[in-house]
Each structure stands twice: as C-alpha cells, then as structure tokens.
Amino acid sequence: MAMAASSSLFTCSLQEGRCSPETKSCSKNFMCNYVNLMHKQLGCSESKHVRHSRFLFNEKSLMLKETEGLLKRKGILCRAVKIENPPSFTVGKKFQLDDVIEAQQFDRDTLSAIFEVAREMERIEKNSSGSQILKGYLMATLFYEPSTRTRLSFESAMKRLGGEVLTTENAREFSSAAKGETLEDTIRTVEGYSDIIVMRHFESGAAKRAAATAGIPIINAGDGPGQHPTQALLDVYTVEREIGKLDGIKVGLVGDLANGRTVRSLAYLLAKYKDVKIYFVSPDVVKMKDDIKDYLTSQGIEWEESADLIEVAAKCDVVYQTRIQRERFGERIDLYEEARGKYIVDHRVLEVMPKHAVVMHPLPRLDEITVDVDSDPRAAYFRQAKNGLYIRMALLKLLLVGW
C-alpha cells in the first residue's frame, strides 16, 4: 500500500490487538525513494524519531518530531508526528502534470523531486547497460524550428531509457504544414503514432494549443519567443550543481531578453527561491518585457536593470549570456545590428567575476562569448548542455510511467 506524505503522520498506541497490554507505540516504518514515502509494514516498536537518508531533497536526513497533542479515537491513542519539509511524491504514482508547457507549472517541491530523478538518470546514463524503463514507448519529435541540443538530447534521452523515436527535423517545411495543415490536425495525427510528443514551434502559445488538442503528453521544446520550460529546468539544475544552492543567489541575465524564451522561463523558476536577485543587462531594443518584471515583483523577487555588464558580473553567482536572435527581427536588420555585439563575455568579464561564479549560455552562441573563455573552469555552458540530457530523461520517465 503506497501512502503519500502529508504535513503530519501518526504513531499509534493500541490498547488491544497486536500490541502488548501495556501502552506501547505502534509505528509505521517508511522507506523513501525519489523523495517519496512508501508504506512498508505495521509493527510494534518504541516511540522514536524516524530517519532515512532519502527523505529530504539532496539526500539529507529527515527528522520526524512528535507534537504534544494526544488524541483518543476508537481505542487508539494517536500522537501527531510533524514532518519538517514533507515530501509530497509517492513512488509509482502518476506525475502531477499531464504536459510540460510553461515554467509556471512547477513549484519548488516538484523541482527538487525532478532534480532527484535527474540525478538517478545520470547514474543510469553512466551505466553502460542503460535502462529499459521506457521500452515499448514511442516519442515523436515535431520541430517547426531548427534545433540541435534540444532535439538530440530528447532523442538520446528516450533511447537511453529503452524507448523509440519518430522524428521530423523541419516540420515547417517538410511536413503537411507546408500544405496548409493546421497544428491541431497535425497533433491529432501524430498522437496516433506515438505515446508522447516533443514539439518546437515558431508561434508563442502553440504548445498550449497542442496540449489542448492531444490526448497524450505534450512537451514544449520552445514556442517562438514564448517559453522553453525544459531549458529552464536544466538551467536551474545546473545552477544548483555548480553553485551548490538556489536560495540567496544573484543572477545576471544578459543579451536578447525581449525575444529569449529561455530567460523568460528561467525568471519564472528563479522566483520560486528565496532572496534571489536578478540583473537584466541588454541593449535597449531587446529589454526584458514588463510581464516578467511584474511577475517577479509580485513574487517579492528583487530585480534591477543595468547597462554595465562588468559591474553586474562582479556581483553575480551566475552570468547567463544569450545571443541576439536575428530570426526575431524580421526585416528590421538595422535593429539587429544595433543590438549585436554590445555585451560580450570575454577575459575582462572573467577578471571581475567571483571565483565561485559560472558563465552559462543556452547555446548556440555566435560571438557573445569569446572562445578563450571556454578553457576557464567557470565556463559551465557545455556542462549545462549535458545536464539537459538528465533532465529530459527524468521528464520522459515521469510523464510516461510516473514517479
């Protein structure tokens, strides 16, 4: 019998039945995997604190503390046992989300649990025998815009877990969309061939439309200038691995903040953590849009706009650079040229950055990070890309088979 954790558990003193006549404590022993509690067995034992190394996120111990209240009910003496930071995910249970569409879907506890699964996926990836957990499942990748890392990492993730892949690299040109087929009709067709669809589209909001149509899970792999939630997940996962914490960090978001779906999704996720400060550094023509600023303010997140990358880099734990996206400017090439090359991460930026800080980039890069930065240990962007594999393995596993 599986049992989800709540804000309190109970140790019960039975006055009859399996326990001795003296009032003793009958406690439930729990085992935890992926920060979830499972009911193991019922037996008699002394009332005591319970501890397990997998109860807390980051594999720390969870201590159960008894509260003072005693309740009598039907001959059972129950002591309320309070759980500090209770996990809320049970092994074998269905994932809370049907689709992954936007960063706002995730709360802090869910993020921590996904990161725990991603760490397990890393161990699987390093095991040459791999896994067959998704054997018999088929993933369709439907990409209307170019992609290297996102598409290949999803396909690699599926195959490393034993699944199969159907892929179309340029659906905008080489699918029936070129004949005028609607997105909804395409989704209804493709879902008949697969168990999950990973989609990148050139229109903001396309992923929501697909999810509203499909009867199988949809993962948003980027929808125009809208969002890129799986990139944001891997970004936060990378920050935690590189910096060692997510609370109390300072992050500089640099480059094309108006069109960059990655920085928009990342801002939403950073707002889940405490005492975070975000600096926006961008040319005037691609400043962060007001909806993100308003959201951060509503969540109590401090943010500041700056025109000085050197000054910001000296303060930050993370410098998150992005490219100026020419494809979003249409015919206004003059505005693109005005924005391009204004903020470049080079040796001068590295010189002022703290030793523990890192440079991140969702890639691909053009000239906004010079190649000599690559050899610096603080250049985390290729490690960041690798982490995308583990996050996407975790999401495929969770959406298809659950916790």
User: What residues act catalytically?
Assistant: 149-150, 179, 200, 228
Torsion of the alpha carbons at 111, 116, 117 and 121, rounded to the nearest 10 = 130
Question: End-to-end CA distance of the chain, in Å?
Answer: 15
Cα–Cα distances in angstroms (integers) from residue 196 to residues 190, 342, 356, in the given order: 9, 41, 39
3-state secondary structure 349-398: HHHHCCCCCEEECCCCCCCCECHHHHHCCCECHHHHHHHHHHHHHHHHHH
* Cα-based distances in Å from 349 to 239, 249, 313, 317, 357: 19, 18, 7, 13, 11
Alpha carbon 44 to chain centroid, angstroms? 41
What is the three-state SS of 314-353?
CCCCEEEECCCCHHHCCCCHHHHHHHCCCCCECHHHHHHC
Pairing of strands 76-83, 8-14: antiparallel
Burial of 205 (0-12, 13-18, 19+ CB in 10 A): middle
SS3 of 291, please? helix
3-state secondary structure 212-261: HHCCCCEEEEEECCCCCHHHHHHHHHHHHHHHCCCCCCEEEEECCCCCCH
Q: Return the bridge partners of 138, or none.
A: 164
Closest to 264 in 3D by CA, of 42, 103, 152: 103
> Where do we find the tokens 């006549």?
21
Angle between helices 108-126 and 381-401 (to 10 degrees): 100
φ and ψ of 267, to 5 deg: -60, -40
Q: Strand 138-143's sheet: what is its strand order?
A: 164-168, 138-143, 196-201, 218-223
Q: Which of 380, 395, 264 is nearest to 328 (CA)?
A: 264
